A and B are shown apart, each in its own frame.
Chain A
């Protein structure tokens, strides 16, 4: 009797462990320290997947979604440096996205500036605003910082709505031209996909470098203990402002791309709901990791799309899902799931060893 049971278990064991091993290949890394090399084998796997996706899946709708997902991923990546690594709360990140979108929209439609220049300008303008806002605000901590960030995004929203001459008021700006590089226009979702994801990959490399350098360590340090960080000479406020500006620049890039892809810029970009959405992506993805928020962005973009069919219910389902996910994965999906998998795998391993001992 016992022998039969143990062989059955063995087959199931293999199946499960196999499945788990496959899953662990594609899921993002947990925050295992000191494996901070620039490129790992897993990254090449992801890269391949990203490059091949639009070819393997030729649906235009999917391309459209993935372009959006890529843009949101850039946003989430920027915020994850501020929220996930430095541990500071910003509920106003959408403001920089909006600034980026409007800068590009205004420069290309009113002044005929080429999209590439507008792209960089958008990031620059967002960065400047971030610096001006960040200097006073980042002396605050916790809930007060969150509140202050809510404050400035609301103020931006109001200003955008109330200055129609500059920003087109409630309607926004239309007719933003496609992104183009020397005559090559990115006018289909297919082409835009590679544009957006190419930029995202570049930004990921930048972020990875940042994270494994002394700046990354300083951010992790001040997230855990600001007193200890000060004691080694780290100017905590300056660090916070610095990473805030970097995150805002990323958001500026994202906003610019958004304007070029959607051909419009409108005040919705500044809404509180959008800010919350971006934070959700980062928290779902996990704090202290870079790929998690990107996965979070992809996941939420798809979720919005699916829920879009249930237009009215969408936001409340959103809220519900957010709360449920937070309760069950308070460290974010990226970290918990993988750690659980590791425990499971090691559990099976131990179980097998016990079984062989008994027999």
Chain B
């Protein structure tokens, strides 16, 4: 069969992984909107989601749904701790320092996981069975539908949070107009604190969703985090819609590329896209509220 014939299949797996990239990208954007910080440890939240669930499931014997929920709480806790122990003490430091600090945290988390959970990749059972079924002639694994469904639910939740609740509006305010937010008494540190929690939660959910399809291991977080960031930049840095769009485009592009180039180069695709986008349109596809040619 010609490579073109495989495209529908790649599309379906691409959309699935794209949803995950979208969630990771949203995690980056949430924190960046609240604080102008880029959290390079974002991918680790995803990794931890899957890892902790596995542990709870197999070593503690919790039923699957409970393990998943508990693990999300744990990861949110990790997110809060990351903020309190690393970001807050460095809140006045310069960009390279903050960057290095989140990278250092990412190193610490990923390697400690290999010690705590062991270095072998882990898999989780799919939510509702293994059998792929056909949609318009394309085999689709049920887990993919869970991924997509959960992604849309999370998006809806985020939208509701930022546009309808007071907390969400406060977070929005503190990012678009820090001075105004300060003046109206919104405690910026608290907003960033919550942003870390929300990102960690989203990341961990993404991790739990994706582990049944692609395994998770202690090192999978780093690359995933980078790709999520690339997706956010691709779609339009600083916009939630950009993060989502970028995530899906990246996922599909990556999957489809396997039809045309040797699979070893798959990881490079994301970075090539990154370099192209930064060169031709750094604002991203949908444009960016943050990028003013002076500041970034």
Contacts and interface: CB of A to CB of B under 8 A. Distances in A.
Interface of A: 83, 87, 89, 91, 136-137, 140-144, 146-148, 150-152, 154-155, 158-159, 161-162, 272-273, 276, 279-280, 283, 287, 312-316, 318-320, 322-323, 326-327, 330
Contact of B89 (A159, A322, A327): A327
B106 interface: yes
Interface in B83-118: 85-86, 89-90, 93-97, 99-101, 103-112, 114-115
Contacts of A320: 104, 108
B268 interface: yes
A143 B95 CA distance: 8
Contacts of B104: 276, 280, 318-320, 322-323, 326
A161 B265 CA distance: 9
B278 A147 contact: yes
Contacts of B97: 283, 326, 330
A52 to B, nearest CB: 34
Nearest to B93: A330
Q: Secondary structure of the B side of the interface? A: helix
A30 B97 CA distance: 19
Nearest to B263: A162
Contacts, number: 130
Contacts of A161: 264
B296 to A, nearest CB: 5
20 contacts: A87-B96, A136-B279, A144-B233, A147-B229, A148-B275, A150-B226, A150-B271, A152-B271, A154-B271, A155-B271, A162-B262, A276-B104, A283-B97, A287-B96, A314-B111, A315-B110, A316-B108, A322-B100, A326-B104, A327-B101
Interface residues of B, number: 44
Given A89-B95, A155-B268, 15 more contacts: A89-B96, A137-B275, A137-B278, A143-B38, A148-B274, A150-B271, A151-B272, A151-B274, A154-B271, A159-B268, A162-B262, A312-B114, A316-B111, A316-B112, A318-B104
B52 interface: no
B267 interface: yes
Given A89-B99, A162-B265, A323 B275 contact: no
* Residue among B112, B229, B271, B272 with the highest chain A CB neighbour number at 10 A: B271
Given A89-B95, A144-B278, A147-B229, A316 B107 contact: yes
A319 B275 contact: no
